[in-house]
Amino acid sequence: MSQEQRETGSAAALTQSSVVRDLVDTRRFQRAGSLLREVLFELDAAGRLLLASPAWERLVGAPVHAWTGRALVELFHQEDRDQARALLRTAAARTDVPARLELRLASGGTQPRWVELSATGDPEHLGGVLGTLVDVTPRRLAEDAATTRERYLGAMVEVQRRLLAPETSGDLYNSILDPLGRVAGASRAYVFEFHRDASGRMLQSQRAEWCAPGVSRELDNPDTQAWPVDQAFELHQLEQLHRGEAVQGKPEDFGADNAPVLLSQGIRSLLVLPLVVHGEPFGFIGFDNCDDARPWSHVEVKLLSGAAGALSLALEQHTTDALRVRTETALRRTEAGFHLLIEGFPDPVVVHTTDGMLLTVNPAMANYLGYQDPAELLGRHLLGLVRREDQEVARRHLEEAQDGALAARSHEVPLVRRDGQVVSADLVTLGVLFDGVPARVTVARDFTERKHMQAQLMLGDRLASMGMLAAGIAHELNNPLSYVLSNLEFLHRALGPMPRPLGAEELMEYQQVLDDAREGSERMRQIVRQLKVFSRVDDAHEEAVDLHRVLDSVAQMAASEIRPRARLVKQYGTVPTVRANEGKLFQVFLNLVINAAHAIPEGFTDTHEIRLITRVDDDGRVVVDVRDTGRGIAPELLRRIFDPFFTTKAPGQGTGLGLSICDTIVRALGGSIAAESAPGHGATFRVTLHAARAASAA
């Protein structure tokens, strides 16, 4: 065989081997991806899809082969594609820290679907990208629903307050249309009353109106006065209104005669809620949407229906004679209006005095706590539903809600059910007037699912931190490991295979070698302990924690990030232990120290420092300052740094969750976190915690 034939044969064999290897890698990729719920994918240098795991079809609704060769950015909503391109460009250039972003899918329908895109550069293919897609739609929907309910509750309380105010007795409609229109996101909110003409035919006329800025008023439009009700609604819609049910739809759904009138007013969708006075149809509250044809959700309709019921009761009260208004019956009706809002609210709600005595408990709260009848809870103290060790947190939360003020900041508080089981609830409290006396309304939202999502976010933040520090940790382990192995090898060679008597000098030398090896082993044990503490799953366990030991561990773990940028200075005072979870505190201060390091450019170690300061303040609380001499934070950004997903880092270099998670952890421990900064003058993050002995005494 000639040299040329041998070379040709070798090349063919090499090509065949490469094809087989690629096929094996593809099968391994598919097998590994089939074990995961998230989508694994691989892109070429042009951003086109090469491979995807089986979960792709469940997420996208199309087989992988239909997308192979297409640009991944086409998967996302048109408005989100520029962000996706920027993230993929950043990811292709880096293989150390994955870039993450939440984006909408293009095929979201009326309700957008959200995914978290995580991507990093492929170290084996220049310009290639490896990444994952995770469906986060349920979490986004849960957060939106919780926000909607809290916003509506505030509006409902304001509506009830205005209905009960003496100065609004002559103008019930206009006093409540403003808060209702705003919270409903409507273009217009209005009230129509029913009346009859000389022949007895039912007519409707507009009596009041609220309009969003830029929306035309229709109160003086002749078409809104004396319009026959049987032309304004279809027969089945009139039957719904008579049953006390809401009616909503597009203008075309309201009959051929009425649709042109509605369309001429720019209406794209509308919601109608009946008003019933003394058991008879009285009129309705209406809401127009002139921006889009979106429907109002079931929760929104239910809450707005509660406001319509409260207005119906107020109208019924004001249509009776003045003497009856001042009687005990009128008082009961006023209370019934307030109860109507509470009874119909889907979340657990209680009304209590300013010192915590329960006045009203809705069925949802009784069911949440395992009671058959809400009356079983009346007269009890709200703090009696809270675990003894959490009552101080609950008391501080109640003190935040002042009479007539906005809602107090929500707090997670464990509540005790009738059977002794503990459930985590997120409490929101508002100050109100009840029967002319200051009182408070507290809403308890089940925190279980949110706590699970929060735990996932915290775990993701920890994994991101560990990924960032992986090389430095390996270096910290490698150094002591090297001289441990070197010393053991020296002893192995020196002692030899045969036993022999050792002199005093040899014994002293070998003792020193063993001491060095033990010191190196102890250093490795400390690093492994720090990793174990940081990754511990038992986040609920709290104990007396030595703050200086936590800070020393953080400094050692983050040394690889600090060393090329600044000097680390420890300015420790004499402080007591704090009541906390060691792993959570480690996560808080590791985030703060890494952020401080990243605020300082590399190569200026002599001119920059990161200082860790501990002390006890005048109130006996333990204070930790993490101070840097970096670039600082602009005032307009300083207000937002603890907001979730807000980051000042470049795309792909931060999720915006680190400081938000720190804030969540510290507040859950009963402490506080704050930041001070000025551009060009560094930043100081101050964490305040309760001493362990103070927490135990409380």
Q: What CATH code would you report for 348-450? A: 3.30.450.20
- DSSP annotation of 168 reads G
Residue 624 above 60 pLDDT? yes
- DSSP annotation of 477 reads H
> What is the Cα–Cα distance from 117 to 96, expressed in whole angstroms?
16
pLDDT of the residue at 20: 44
| CA torsion angle 291 293 297 302 (round to 10) | 80
Nearest Cα to Cα of residue 73 among 84, 86, 59: 84
Residue 35: partners with Cβ closer than 8 Å, 6 or more residues away:
none
Residue 681: partners with Cβ closer than 8 Å, 6 or more residues away:
632
CATH 3.40.47.10 is the classification of domain 36-142:
no
> What is the Cα–Cα distance from 374 to 171, expressed in whole angstroms?
35
pLDDT of the residue at 497: 62
CB hemisphere CA count around 424 (13 angstroms): 12
186 to 110, 204, 299, 314: CA distances (angstroms) = 18, 21, 16, 23
How confident is residue 9, by pLDDT bands cut at 50, 70 and 90? low
| CA torsion angle 96 101 106 107 (round to 10) | 100
Superfamily of domain 536-697 in CATH is Histidine kinase-like ATPase, C-terminal domain (3.30.565.10)
* pLDDT tens readout for residues 108-162: 566 788 899 999 988 888 889 999 999 888 888 777 776 667 677 777 777 777 7
The CATH T-level fold of domain 165-322 is Beta-Lactamase (3.30.450)
- DSSP annotation of 381 reads B
> What is the Cα–Cα distance from 460 to 296, expressed in whole angstroms?
35
Helices 448-495 and 658-668: angle between axes, nearest 10 degrees: 100
pTM given for the model: 0.39
* pLDDT tens readout for residues 268-318: 999 999 988 878 888 999 999 998 888 888 878 888 888 888 888 877 776
CA 302 remoteness from chain centre: 25
CB hemisphere CA count around 652 (13 angstroms): 21
Residue 2 above 70 pLDDT? no
280 to 240, 242, 267: CA distances (angstroms) = 14, 8, 28
Q: In a 3-state reduction of DSSP, which class is residue 64?
A: helix
Percent of the chain with pLDDT over 70: 71
How confident is residue 428, by pLDDT bands cut at 50, 70 and 90? confident
